[in-house]
C-alpha cells in the first residue's frame, strides 16, 4: 500500500470512527427507542382512514365497515357493518358525542347522527345530499349548520368546482330548520395530491362558518351573513377567495364586543355585530392570512407561505409585513415592510412587543410604533413558524429544525436539527414531516401564540369544524401554525347519546343497554355490566376534560433514529429530545393523542397504538 493510499485509508477510518462516536453520543442523549406497542386491533378489511375524537375514540373506516375504537385500550366499541364510507362521509360534531354519517343508498343520500359511544342512530334526515365538509355549532341554542357538497371527487391537479348547500338542524331533535344553496360554484381542495383520478376533495381551503349574534357567517364566495332562524340574507358581499389558486390566503375572522373583523381582496373590514353594517374599511394591504385582535389594535400579517391547490406545493406570496389598525376607526397606524424575504406567523409575547421571522432574521417590533427594536439571525432553513415557549423564549422552526432565542438579548439559547430520512419519496416525506409538526400545534399553540387579552372569534359563542385536521395536513407549516392556534376544545360539552345519562349527575342510575340494531354489531356496552359501563363512560368524560386544558410541549420530527427511522419529540421549552418512537413503516396519515400519550397508525387491516412518552 502506498503512503498516499494509506493516508486516504487512515483518513477514512478516522472519519468512520468519529461518526461512530457521534452516533454513540446521540444514543446517550436521546431516550431509548420506544417501540412499545400498546395495542393492535385487527379489523375486517384494509384501513381507509382513521380519525381522533374529543372523547378519545378513534373512528376508523375499512373497505367493509365503520368502527369506533377505544383509543386507550384498543377495544372495539361498535362496528357498523356494510358501511364503506369515505373519510369525507364521517364527521364528529365538535363539543358533542354525535358522529355525522353521510350514507349513500342507490341514488339517495341520508344523513345519520349516531351516538359516538354506542353507534346507535339518534336521528336521521333524508333531505340532504353529499358529504359533510364543514360545520358550525351554536351550543346555546343547539343549532348545527352543516355544509354539504355532492360528487366531491376528481383528479388532484384539476380545478374541481361545486355548489355548496347549507342545512341548519336542531341538533337534539334532528329537525331541519332551513336549507340554502349558494349561487356560485366554489373551487375545492384535494385531500391528497396523487396521480389517482378518484381523490376526495374538501373545503379545507376556506375558513369554516361561524355563529355570532343570531347570524351564520359564511366565507366561501366572499362574505355572507344569514339569519340563523330563517336562513335569509342579512349581508352579502362577493369577492374572490383563494388568491391565484392558493389555500387560506385570507384571515380567520376575529371579533370584540362591538364588531367582527374580516379580510378579503386585500382589505380589512369592521362589521357591526348589532346591525350587520360596515363600520370601516382599510384598503390595499395585500394578502392578509392572519389577524390578531387586542383591546385597541388589530394586527395584520400580510403575505406568507401558502399551499397551492393544483399540486400541494408550498409557495410564497408578498408583499410581506405587519400592519397595525385602530379597531375604532380603521386607520392604519403603521406598516412594517421590512420582512422582504418571506414571513412566518406573528406572535405577541406582551402588549408592547410583536415578534415575526422572515427567511433570515427574528424581528422584534415595537407594537406602538411599528419600528424594529432589534433583529437576530436565526439560521433556520426555510423558517415557517414562530411560537413562544413557557420560558417566554421565541422558538423559530422549519421542517427539520427549531431554535429558541432570548429575543430581548438577541441570543440563541438552544438549537435542534433533525433531517428526515431518505430522499426518495419527497412528497411522502413532506407529508409526514408536516403532520409530525402539527401534533404540537394541535395542543400547544393555543397557549403560546399570544398574551392574555387577545380575543379570538372561536372563544365567543360558536364551535366550528373543518376537515383540515382530520383529512389532510397542509404542507405549509406557516398555515398549520396559524390555523391550529384557532382550534381548541371548549370547556362546555353537550351530550345527546348514552353519555347524557351519565354526565355530571351525582348518584345516577346506571344507564340501560342500548336497544339492539341490525346496523351495529360488536357493541361493547352490550357485554358490560352497569358498573363497568359507568366506569368506561366516566373515563371518556375525564379524558375530554383533560383535553380541554391540555397544552403540549413537544415538537415532533420525522428523522433517522439510532435503530431506524421514526418520530423524535423535542421539548420546545428546553430543546431536549425527550421522546422517540421508532416506526420504520410509518403511515403518513398517523395521528397523535397527547391526552392518552399515544400515537395511532395503520397498516393493511390493523390499527396500532404506540406509546408517545415511554422510555426504556
Considering the domain boundaries, does residue 9 fall inside one? yes
Considering the domain boundaries, does residue 306 fall inside one? no
Considering the domain boundaries, does residue 266 fall inside one? no
pLDDT value of residue 23: 35
Q: Which residues pair with 276 in a beta bridge?
A: none
Count of domains in the chain?
1
pLDDT value of residue 341: 72
pLDDT value of residue 510: 42
pLDDT value of residue 475: 61
CB-based contacts of 488, cutoff 8 Å, min separation 6 = 446, 458, 459, 548
Which three three-digit cell numbers place residue 398? 422549519
Considering the domain boundaries, does residue 13 fall inside one? yes
Check: pTM over 0.95? Answer yes or no: no
Considering the domain boundaries, does residue 134 fall inside one? no
Distance (Å, whole) CA 129 – CA 580: 44
Question: Of 209, 402, 199, whose CA–CA distance to 312 is shortest?
Answer: 199
Rg of the Cα atoms in the chain: 25
Considering the domain boundaries, does residue 226 fall inside one? no
pLDDT value of residue 159: 85
Considering the domain boundaries, does residue 570 fall inside one? yes
> Helix, strand, or coil here: 176?
strand
Do the beta carbons of residue 366 and residue 353 sit within 8 Å?
A: yes
Q: How far is CA 448 from CA 454, 496, 615, in A?
A: 12, 33, 27
Range of 561's domain?
3-37+553-611
* Residue spans of the chain under pLDDT 70: 1-35, 106, 235-242, 338-340, 422-430, 443-462, 467-475, 480, 483-491, 502-518, 548, 614-616
Do the beta carbons of residue 356 and residue 453 sit within 8 Å?
A: no
Do the beta carbons of residue 300 and residue 283 sit within 8 Å?
A: no
Distance (Å, whole) CA 490 – CA 544: 10
Do the beta carbons of residue 442 and residue 309 sit within 8 Å?
A: no
Distance (Å, whole) CA 466 – CA 136: 9
Burial of 483 (0-12, 13-18, 19+ CB in 10 A): buried
Considering the domain boundaries, does residue 578 fall inside one? yes
Nearest-10 Cα torsion for 398, 572, 395, 450: 120
Amino acid at each position: 500500500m502506498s503512503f498516499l493510499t494509506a493516508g486516504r485509508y487512515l483518513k477514512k477510518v478516522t472519519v468512520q470512527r468519529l461518526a461512530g462516536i457521534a452516533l454513540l453520543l446521540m444514543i446517550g442523549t436521546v431516550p431509548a427507542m420506544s417501540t412499545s406497542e400498546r395495542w393492535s386491533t385487527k379489523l375486517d378489511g384494509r384501513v381507509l382512514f382513521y380519525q381522533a375524537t374529543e372523547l378519545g375514540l378513534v373512528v376508523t373506516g375499512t373497505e367493509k365497515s365503520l368502527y369506533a375504537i377505544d383509543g386507550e385500550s384498543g377495544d372495539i366499541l361498535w362496528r357498523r357493518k356494510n358501511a364503506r364510507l369515505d373519510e369525507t362521509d364521517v364527521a364528529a360534531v365538535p363539543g358533542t358525542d354525535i358522529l355525522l354519517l353521510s350514507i349513500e343508498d342507490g341514488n339517495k343520500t341520508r344523513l345519520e347522527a349516531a351516538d359516538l359511544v354506542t353507534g346507535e342512530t339518534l336521528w336521521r334526515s333524508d333531505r340532504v345530499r353529499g358529504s359533510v365538509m364543514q360545520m358550525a355549532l351554536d351550543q346555546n341554542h343547539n343549532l348545527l349548520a352543516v355544509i354539504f357538497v355532492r360528487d366531491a371527487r376528481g383528479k388532484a391537479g384539476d380545478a374541481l368546482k361545486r355548489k355548496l348547500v347549507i342545512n341548519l338542524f336542531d341538533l337534539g331533535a334532528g329537525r331541519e330548520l332551513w336549507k340554502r344553496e349558494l349561487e356560485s360554484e366554489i373551487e375545492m381542495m384535494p385531500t391528497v395530491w396523487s396521480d389517482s383520478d378518484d381523490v376526495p376533495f374538501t373545503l379545507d381551503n376556506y375558513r369554516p362558518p361561524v355563529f355570532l349574534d343570531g347570524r351564520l357567517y359564511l366565507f366561501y364566495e366572499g362574505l355572507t351573513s344569514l339569519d340563523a332562524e330563517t336562513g335569509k340574507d342579512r349581508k352579502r358581499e362577493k369577492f374572490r377567495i383563494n388568491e391565484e389558486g392558493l389555500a387560506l390566503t385570507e384571515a380567520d375572522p376575529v371579533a370584540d364586543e362591538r364588531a367582527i373583523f374580516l379580510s378579503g381582496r386585500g382589505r380589512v373590514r369592521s362589521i357591526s355585530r348589532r346591525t350587520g353594517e360596515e363600520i370601516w374599511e382599510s384598503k390595499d394591504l395585500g394578502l392578509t392570512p392572519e389577524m390578531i385582535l387586542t383591546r385597541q389594535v388589530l394586527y395584520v400579517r400580510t403575505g406568507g407561505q401558502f399551499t397551492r391547490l393544483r399540486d400541494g406545493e408550498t409557495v410564497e406570496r408578498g408583499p410581506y409585513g405587519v400592519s397595525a389598525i385602530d379597531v375604532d376607526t380603521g386607520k392604519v397606524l403603521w406598516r412594517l415592510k421590512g420582512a422582504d424575504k418571506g414571513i412566518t406567523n406573528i406572535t405577541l409575547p406582551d402588549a408592547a412587543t410583536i415578534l415575526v421571522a422572515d427567511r433570515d432574521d427574528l424581528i422584534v417590533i415595537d407594537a406602538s410604533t411599528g419600528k424594529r427594536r432589534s433583529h437576530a439571525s436565526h439560521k433556520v432553513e426555510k423558517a415557517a413558524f414562530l411560537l413562544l415557549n413557557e420560558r417566554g423564549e421565541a422558538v423559530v422552526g422549519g421542517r427539520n429544525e427549531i431554535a429558541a432565542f432570548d429575543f430581548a438579548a438577541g441570543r440563541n439559547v438552544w438549537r435542534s436539527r433533525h433531517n428526515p430520512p431518505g430522499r426518495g419519496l419527497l412528497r411522502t416525506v413532506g407529508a409526514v414531516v408536516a403532520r409530525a409538526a402539527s401534533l404540537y400545534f394541535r395542543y400547544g399553540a393555543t397557549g403560546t401564540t399570544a398574551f392574555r387579552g387577545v380575543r379570538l372569534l372561536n372563544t365567543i359563542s360558536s364551535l366550528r369544524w373543518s376537515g383540515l385536521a382530520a383529512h389532510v395536513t397542509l404542507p405549509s407549516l406557516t398555515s398549520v401554525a396559524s390555523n391550529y392556534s384557532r382550534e381548541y376544545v371548549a370547556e362546555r360539552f353537550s351530550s345527546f347519546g348514552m353519555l347524557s345519562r351519565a354526565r355530571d349527575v351525582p348518584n345516577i342510575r346506571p344507564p340501560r343497554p342500548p336497544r339492539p340494531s341490525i346496523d351495529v354489531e360488536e357493541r361493547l356496552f352490550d357485554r358490560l355490566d352497569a358498573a363497568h359501563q359507568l366506569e368506561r363512560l366516566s373515563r371518556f368524560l375525564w379524558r375530554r376534560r383533560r383535553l380541554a386544558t391540555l397544552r403540549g410541549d413537544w415538537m415532533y420530527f420525522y428523522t433517522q433514529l439510532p435503530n431506524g427511522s421514526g418520530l423524535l419529540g423535542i421539548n420546545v421549552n428546553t430543546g431536549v429530545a425527550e421522546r422517540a418512537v421508532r416506526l420504520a413503516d410509518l403511515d403518513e396519515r398517523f395521528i397523535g393523542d397527547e391526552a392518552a400519550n399515544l400515537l395511532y397508525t395503520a397498516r393493511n387491516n390493523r390499527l396500532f397504538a404506540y406509546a408517545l412518552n415511554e422510555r426504556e
